[in-house]
Amino acid sequence: QVQLQASGPGLVKPSETLSLTCTVSGGSVSSGSYYWSWIRQSPGKGLEWIAYIFNTGSTTNYTPSLKSRATISLDTSKNQLSLELTSVTAADTAVYYCARAIAAAGTGLIDYWGQGSLVTVSS
Amino acid sequence: QSVLTQPPSVSGAPGQRVSISCTGGNSNIGAGYDVQWYQFLPGTAPKLLIYANTNRPSGVPDRFSGSKSGTSASLAITGLQAEDEADYYCQSYDSSLREAWVFGTGTKVTVL
């Protein structure tokens, strides 16, 4: 059973960089054919897909509205997924989820989610 | 801003049937892209309920069923149980503006 656990700072100041890590257990981030992903949920915008990275690291894709500020990466040695979001504002306050999607499905079929990590942007 | 529209809430008594609609457009559901449904319960990881419009993963009760027609999809819960009280989201792919995965606005199911 694959398990994902997102962790982050909880509180980030405006204009700073948000860094999140997702630790994966029960499976390797470099095995199979999956998209490792970040999704967030905020009161104002509901669920929003942020980015995904193919498990070889060869392919990434970002939602257009965040592409200039977001970077997704894999650390296969630690079996972790990461997200950096620069120049944050209050609008980036959300619960951030990491997730695994089945690449062959092509439509973002997420078979495993993490519990989510609340990030608040405030001074 | 969610691309897929769901009713904010639905409710039903134990044992009853409820249905949640998910309305999209010609660049997502109407273009033939599959729809998934997820269950969000407080304090737990979201769970995949239905994939590729009508399929249930192993372990999901057959009380949950999905359908798709035109630019819409639906999730039905029959024999409603107290443990089904949760938020439900549909999800699909959208080909416009390089948007990839899109989600519904979410529906709160209340068991009366």
| Nearest CB to A45 within list B1, B44, B92 | B1
- Count the neighbouring beta carbons within 10 Å of the beta carbon of residue B101: 28
pLDDT at A99: 97
pLDDT at B32: 94
Contact A97 B52 (CB under 8 A): no
Q: pLDDT by residue for chain B (112 residues), tens digit each?
A: 678 999 999 999 999 999 999 999 999 999 999 999 999 998 899 999 999 999 999 999 999 999 999 999 999 999 999 999 999 999 999 988 665 899 999 999 999 9
Is the pLDDT assigned to residue A53 strictly greater than 90?
Answer: yes
pLDDT at A55: 83
CA distance A59 to A52: 8
pLDDT at B90: 97
Find all residues with CB under 8 Å of B100, minimum gap 6, and list them. Answer: A49, A52, A61, A63, A108, B93, B94
Contact status, residue A55 vs residue A64, Cβ threshold 8 Å: no
Contact A108 B101 (CB under 8 A): yes
pLDDT at A21: 97
Contacts of B66 in chain A (CB under 8 A): none
Contact A48 B103 (CB under 8 A): yes
**pLDDT tens-digit series, residues A7-39:** 999 999 999 999 999 999 999 999 889 999 999
Find all residues with CB under 8 Å of A68, minimum gap 6, and list them. Answer: none
Is the pLDDT assigned to residue A48 strictly greater than 70?
Answer: yes
Amino acid letter for position B17 = R
Closest CA to B26 of B8, B2, B3: B3
The pLDDT-based confidence of A110 (bands split at 50, 70, 90) is very high
Q: Give the N- to C-terminal CA distance of chain A in Å, as an integer.
A: 39
pLDDT at B100: 80
CA distance A78 to B58: 29
CA distance B50 to B89: 11
What count of CB pairs under 8 Å joins A to B? 73
